Amino acid sequence: MEDIGQFKQRRVVVTGLGVVSPLGDSPDLVFSRLYENQSAIAPISRFDTQSHSIKYAAEINDFDIGIYGIEKRDIQHLDKVQQFALGACEQAVVDAGLDLARQRLTGTKDLIEANPRIGTAIGTSNTMFDPVYEAALHIHQQKIKKVSPRTYNKTRPCSSASLASIRYALGGPVLSQNAASATGALNIITAVDMIRLGRSDVMLAGGTDSGVNELSCAVFGNNLSGSKSGQFRPFDVNRDGTILGEGAAILVLEEKEHALKRGADIYGEILGYGTRTDAHDMVRIPANAPGLCASLNEALSDASLTSSQIDYINAHGTGTQMNDLAESYAINTVFNATTKPYVNGTKAAFGHMLAASGAIEVIVSLLASCYDMIPPTCGLQKLDPGCNINCVSGAGIRSNVDHALSINVGMGGLNTAIIVKGDKREWNNAN
């Protein structure tokens, strides 16, 4: 076993991005629409909402995994959440310029030698809802106790990470963290550690999920966290809850010298992270947000930065009374009141993508640093005085963003903070 101490200074850069979301199917398209204050939230069309108090969501309609090269005979084995993940992976791999093989997901006869230095860290939290719900209905309605054997693989939270490793013949670590709404962020953190410790040179990292199903809407409509008005308004005085979305976001993370050696286009660097728990409650966030405050301070320490060096924060911003107040408290506690960083909440544009939200928000944070552009908080009209943060609303702003920070909070007291620094590039309005 190699001495892991020698790898502590290995730096982690981002060389590829992939997004499948209600707001668009590419990172720059999503960022452009965010900056233009567009929203993908609309009345739910996927199922009858008459018996539900939740009637709005951010849906992905007419998604075709076939355009990413997945064969029709393989598609039947995939849940939509896994399809989202594979689509985002293909975007990210192509964007990174990685020379990887493509192989079938099932029934591969001629095995390709796996690359032992490339791995995956892709998580989900709700992938089992749709296939399990459908199987339960089938058993109940048909009065039989047999379902397709494919259902099992559709329900495993680790399936997306495994499928990506099969697709690209990756022999490195295959990891799948589950941390509720912080899942995507925690998988990025896990991938960063794999590279820092020398376990891998390249990792495909992120999250995939869907909250647009009857079970999720029934739960969020009954636990006071889902918006009944259909208006997603983070940090607004009139906010009434979150609105669910779906999709996937994947980053190609790479050891810096490895990326430079192959001439990769580098978006920027993951400078540091923090992850701590509240150890308080499965749903409620303490008003003084101890776990989040600790995560923010840990991220700053890991990145060797002071709080005054953070220019922009992409907040968790779920639009619930409790979360927005606690998150604002943490931001105001950790960051200097005289040099308040800009803050926004981007879930209001593409919906709460659950396990994918942390990954897509790290991508947004990175692009904001690359382009020195900060999108507005969609839906925010009047800031809650109890929040008292420097929240961008109405229109996007152009401002220097040397360092950006992404916050994610998962039910059960799970907190993550990731700091990124983008390599500067010109914004192309044609995006």
Number of other residues whose CB lies within 10 A of the CB of residue 258: 17
How many whole angstroms separate alpha carbon 40 and alpha carbon 44? Answer: 11
pLDDT tens digit string along 150-175? 777 777 888 999 999 999 999 999 99
Number of other residues whose CB lies within 10 A of the CB of residue 77: 18
pTM for the predicted model, two decimal places: 0.95
Q: What is the CATH number of domain 272-422?
A: 3.40.47.10
pLDDT bin (cut points 50, 70, 90) of residue 1 is very low
For residues 93-114, one letter each, b for 16 or more C-beta atoms within 10 angstroms of the residue's C-beta and e for the rest, the string is: bebbebebeeeebeeeeeeeee
Q: Specify the 3-state DSSP secondary structure of 63.
A: coil
Task: Decide if 252 contacts 14 (C-beta within 8 A).
Answer: yes
> Which tokens hold the place of 133?
């719900």
Task: Decide if 253 contacts 359 (C-beta within 8 A).
Answer: no
- What is the H or E stretch that residue 75 is in? helix 72-75
By percentage, how much of the chain surpasses pLDDT 90? 77
pLDDT tens digit string along 56-98? 999 999 999 999 999 888 998 899 999 999 999 999 999 999 9
Task: Return the bridge partners of 275, or none.
Answer: 416
How many whole angstroms separate alpha carbon 61 and alpha carbon 21? Answer: 10
Q: State the pLDDT at residue 5.
A: 47
Q: ∠ at Cα 207 (122, 396), nearest 5°?
A: 145
Segments making up each domain of the chain, as ranges? 12-261, 272-422
How many whole angstroms separate alpha carbon 396 and alpha carbon 383? Answer: 16
Number of other residues whose CB lies within 10 A of the CB of residue 79: 25
Around 73, how many Cα atoms within 13 Å sit in the side-chain half-sphere? 6
How many whole angstroms separate alpha carbon 49 and alpha carbon 214? Answer: 8
pLDDT tens digit string along 87-100? 999 999 999 999 99
Question: Do 272-422 and 12-261 fall under one CATH topology?
Answer: yes
> Which tokens hold the place of 106?
């099932």
pLDDT bin (cut points 50, 70, 90) of residue 4 is very low
pLDDT tens digit string along 98-147? 999 888 887 665 667 789 999 999 999 876 677 777 777 777 777 667 77
Lowest mean pLDDT among 105-114, 117-126, 205-214, 413-422: 105-114
Helices (H) then strands (E): counts for the chain:
13, 14
Number of other residues whose CB lies within 10 A of the CB of residue 283: 12
Q: Which CATH architecture has domain 12-261?
A: 3-Layer(aba) Sandwich (3.40)
pLDDT tens digit string along 309-339? 999 999 999 999 999 999 999 999 999 766 7
Q: State the pLDDT at residue 2.
A: 47
> Which tokens hold the place of 227?
């918006």
